[in-house]
Chain A
Amino acid sequence: MQVYLDNAATTRLDPRVLAKMRPYLTTKYANASSIHRPGQQAFLDLTRARQTVAKLIGGEAEGIIFTASATEANNFIIKGVARANRSPKKNKIIISSIEHPCVRESALELEKEGFKIEFIPANSDGLITPAALQKLIDDTTILVSVMAVNNEIGTVADIVALAKIAHSRGAYFHSDAVQAVPYLKLDVKKMGLDFLTLSAHKFYGPKGVGLAYINRQIKIRPLIVGGGQEDGYRSGTYNIPGIIGLAVALELAYRERSAYLKKVTALRDHFWKSLKKAIPEVKLNGSRTKRVPANLNIMFGYIEGEAILIDLSFKGIHVSTGSACSATNLKASYVLRAIGLDKNFLNSNIRFSFGRFNTPAEIDYTIKCLKETVKRLRSFSPVA
């Protein structure tokens, strides 16, 4: 049996999405910037997709800038807003301490350019509280960026409250909501978001397409220049199949939201209950309540995460870990560090992320295998 429990890394393309994308790869392949008829037809389809997405996230169609990834969108927003709005009086960028590397690295790049970067600490539940932001923000702040849902531990931030604080000090607010679809209802206007980032492959859409939602009233400098696509905000040939795929996937995600949430929550609860019964010395990382149902980041005492991952993978179960041994830089997850996890436990964590295509039988099989794996590795652990 093959069990894919790494849906936070990426999801399987929904066949319905693929069906809608296919014509744009085969027959309707014209460049949407061409002025001949098939080109203009492609442009109309692009515009329709843009409007669909705008409606789904409660924003203006002209605010949607399609990119090749969420990483690109986050680079564009963080660097583009900072560089375009810098002044002698404004020089500070605030991000949370648990942001995705693409936000973190963008901020660190800005630091080299002389910007002041502040990191909002997370509490031990993995939450970024409004009080913590309040302590760091001042009138020199250009932009605050806090992810809606953390990719490693699945915790949910109070984006609305955080955005209010940012605006009260004249700063703009961005949220990387890549892990939030469809768990949170997104409405950029109601939520007070100036900028938002999404990625299609996290919600059963294709890889290679994301979006930056921008408030066109706010200055932003493009990251990629060239032919002037996306009104000059992002050059490069329109990825029509990808964009169509993103729009269809987002539409399906919210149309089927309640059934989906019910399914994923049931899988998660079943998993957690069975796990607690089957294996001693396990602990959930991050808030128990303020989290998306798709994610369980679990500490397994006395054994190392990468060993668990590889052992499970040979049993057909595919998960991920934040342990140092799995990282190219050989450093344990800074997210787990940031939430104050005991240093001795930093390398013993596995992320299980559930999705639409998982079944209860897969969960049962996983628990059975996990029990064997943990028992085996603990049998020769020097610290058990």
Chain B
Amino acid sequence: MALNYTKKTINHFLKPQNIGKISKPDGYAQIGNMICGDQLDFFLKVEKGKIKDVKFLSFGCASNIATASILTEKVKGLTINQAKKYDWKKVVKELGGLPRQKIHCSVMAVQGLQKAIADYEKKGDGEVKKPIAKKKSVAVKKTASKK
């Protein structure tokens, strides 16, 4: 099988950006597994609705590593809403294309990141916007029940 990775893909594989863990992340997700041959773990640090930091770990092939690398590079600094809109086609475009059988790597990387964002949104607390909304609703309920 021919594997003609672009120069950019190779660069991201050989020198991946944002690798590692974030301790006490605001969002975390794991996608894939060793049996299928690729797994990604994403860690998020969110501040004021923006992705302040994002890191990943990979058990995967060259394009698995490269797609996660470029994706994290591109979404760092974006708002959560902007990051949610970052789809796999953009990842492929940024890399200058991927071999056909490797397209799923970009899909998986994006799904993994979305999962980490969902985890962040689920946790919610510690941030500015969400907790306020939560406290409000809780307060309303409480007062309502008291009455």
Chain A residues engaging chain B, CB cutoff 8 angstroms: 302-307, 310-311, 314, 323-328, 330, 332, 343-348, 379-383
Contacts of B3 in A (CB 8 A): 310, 326
**Chain A positions within 8 Å of B10 at CB level:** 310, 314
Taking a contact as CB atoms under 8 Å apart, the answer to whether A380 and B57 are in contact is yes
In the complex, what distance in Å separates the CA atom of A314 from the CA atom of B66? 15
C-alpha spacing A275/B10, complex, angstroms: 26
How far, in whole Å, are A328 and B40 apart by their CA atoms in the complex?
Answer: 21
A-B contact pairs, 7 of them (CB 8 A): A307-B60, A310-B61, A324-B36, A330-B37, A347-B34, A383-B34, A383-B59
Nearest Cβ in chain B — how far from A149, in angstroms? 23
Query: Which residues in B have their C-beta under 8 angstroms from that of A326?
Result: 1, 3, 61
Interface 1/0s, chain B 1-30, versus A by CB < 8 A? 101010000100110100110000000001
Q: Are B58 and A346 in contact (CB under 8 A)?
A: no
**Residue B116 CB within 8 A of the other chain:** no
The verdict on B145 contacting chain A, using a C-beta distance below 8 Å, is: no
Asked if B59 and A346 sit within 8 Å, CB to CB, the answer is no
Q: Contacts A306-B61, A380-B19, A381-B58; is A311 near B14 (CB within 8 Å)?
A: yes
Instruction: Verify B1–A328 contact, CB threshold 8 A.
Output: yes
Query: Given that A306-B61, A306-B62, A382-B58 are contacting pairs, would A327 and B1 also be in contact in the complex, using a CB cutoff of 8 Å?
Result: yes
Interface-central residue, A302, A305, A310, A344, by most chain B CB under 10 Å? A310
Are the CB atoms of A382 and B41 closer together than 8 Å?
Answer: yes
Contact of B37 among A347, A379, A382 (CB under 8 A): A347
Q: Which partner residue on chain A sits nearest B20 by CB separation?
A: A380
B65 within 8 A of A: yes
Give Cα A310 to B16, complex, Å: 14
Bound Cα distance from A199 to B103, whole angstroms: 35
- A343, B59: Cβ atoms under 8 Å? no
CA distance A307 to B65 in the complex (A): 8
Top 5 closest pairs, chain A to chain B, by CB: A325-B61, A306-B61, A347-B37, A382-B57, A324-B37
Q: Which residues of B contact A307 (CB under 8 A)?
A: 13, 60-62, 64-65
In the complex the two chains form, what is the Cα distance from A264 to B63 in whole Å? 34
Chain B residue nearest in CB terms to A343: B35
The answer to whether B35 touches A330, judged by C-beta atoms less than 8 angstroms apart, is: no
Whether B59 lies near A310 (C-beta < 8 A) is: no
User: How far apart are B118's CB and chain A's nearest CB, in angstroms?
Assistant: 19
**Extra 15 A-B pairs, beta carbons < 8 Å, given A304-B37, A310-B61:** A304-B59, A306-B62, A307-B60, A311-B14, A311-B62, A314-B14, A323-B61, A326-B1, A332-B37, A346-B35, A347-B37, A380-B16, A380-B57, A381-B59, A382-B30
* A327-B62 Cα distance, complex, nearest whole Å: 13
Give Cα distance in the complex from A345 to B87, angstroms: 31
Q: How far is the CB of A374 from chain B (nearest CB, A)?
A: 13
Given contacts A310-B13, A328-B1, is CB(A383)–CB(B38) below 8 Å? no
Alpha-carbon separation in the docked complex, A311 to B15 (Å): 11
- Give which listed residue, B57, B62, B101, contacts A328 with CB less than 8 A: B101
Nearest CB of chain B from residue A114's CB, rounded to whole Å? 33
B39 contacts the other chain (CB 8 A) = yes
A205 CA / B122 CA spacing, docked (Å): 63
Inside 8 A of A324's CB, which chain B residues have their CB? Answer: 36-37
**How many Å from the CB of B116 to the closest CB on chain A?**
13
Q: How far is the CB of B18 from chain A (nearest CB, A)?
A: 10
In the assembled complex, which residues on chain B have CB atoms less than 8 Å from the CB atom of A302?
A: 59
Most chain A beta-carbon contacts within 10 A, residue among B35, B36, B62: B62
| Residues of chain A within 8 A of B61, CB atoms compared | 304-307, 310, 323, 325-326
Alpha-carbon separation in the docked complex, A327 to B39 (Å): 17
Alpha-carbon gap, A161 to B34, bound state (A): 38
B58 with A380: CB separation less than 8 A: yes
Q: Do the beta carbons of A346 and B20 come within 8 Å of each other?
A: no
Residues of A within 8 A of B62 (CB): 306-307, 310-311
Find chain B residues with CB under 8 A from A323 CB. Answer: 37, 61
| C-alpha gap A305/B14 in the complex (Å) | 15
Interchain CA distance A307-B62 in the complex, whole Å: 5
Q: Is the CB of A325 within 8 A of B16?
A: no
Closest to A348 in B: B34
Other-chain contact of B34, A310, A327, A328, A344 (Cβ < 8 Å)? A344
